[in-house]
Copies of this chain bind each other. A is one copy, B any other.
């Protein structure tokens, strides 16, 4: 199956220095992959001079004169930068010239532009950000991760539907388990929105299993965990913070004595193994769900390896035809949509 991806080549902290090598690596790895690199054409063409994938017609560049800055206001990016690499890449998806778009750019702007250009699926208010979290017993998909703050019970329900469809498609699971993130597993706990969302979910056809607590994001005991974007974003960042703190301490302890340095040297292969297993780069590539098209958001600071995982996530979602599946499911739920 031929897959064409439109890449926002200028997005992220490193721009083409990361997006170009990551693309070349993925083109090498996946014979069915075609790419359109969107950005300052002259600069990109210079980097790709004599490239075999260009010669084979699997890689081309598309000019976009502007770049959305990482901290630019989404509303301003939407209004003023109509020729940004981000927007032109999304327009390629809208026109059917590409199957999906990948960007490491400004999250807020990406959401605003994707929503404006691609439009939402019927029944969905705004895109939700969904990402895989690694866990002891397996992976869990967590959403929303910051797209929507102050989510209503109905929106939480929409996230549940979308997360369920995504994991069902990705893993060929017929009824993925779905839970609501809460401050306790007891039914009486939680804020008003969570309690009302629980009632909606309990009466739905989804495989809703009740409440889980924050630590369950990393136990892997359910397939999908649903939460408000404010909560999800803070849980994700707090987790990154504690991991960073633990690594910082480990490094310090291994370095602070001769014994520690020798121990570190001997443990190196094991430490590398551990790092590979929990490498956050493997989990790069969050989905913007609910759009009429596939948009994958890479971490802004992604390196070549990490950005490659976002590209792979985009390919997988194209193969599984995620927006169509979500749309069909929503149509069943809200036929008048």
Q: Are A186 and B71 in contact (CB under 8 A)?
A: yes
Q: How many residues of A contact B (CB 8 A)?
A: 60
Expressed in whole angstroms, the Cα–Cα distance for A280 and B123 within the complex equals: 44
How does the 8 Å CB contact mask read for A147-184 relative to B, with 1 for contact and 0 for none?
00110000000000000000000000000000001010
Q: Could you tell me the distance between the alpha carbons of A237 and B181 in the complex, rounded to whole angstroms?
A: 11
Contact, CB under 8 Å: B253 / A263: no
Residue of B whose beta carbon sits closest to that of A74? B188
Residues of B within 8 A of A25 (CB): none
* Copies, count: 2
Cβ-defined contact, B274 with A245, below 8 A? no
A206 to chain B, nearest CB (A): 22
Say yes or no for A135: interface residue by CB 8 A criterion.
yes
The residues of B that contact A242 with a CB separation of less than 8 Å are 217-218, 239, 242-243
| Chain B, residue nearest A212 (CB) | B237
Contact B183 A233 (CB under 8 A): yes
18 cross-chain CB contacts under 8 A: A71-B186, A136-B248, A149-B183, A183-B230, A214-B235, A215-B241, A218-B241, A219-B241, A219-B244, A238-B239, A243-B246, A246-B278, A249-B274, A253-B274, A262-B266, A263-B266, A264-B267, A266-B267
| CB-based closest 4 A-B pairs | A214-B237, A215-B241, A218-B241, A214-B238
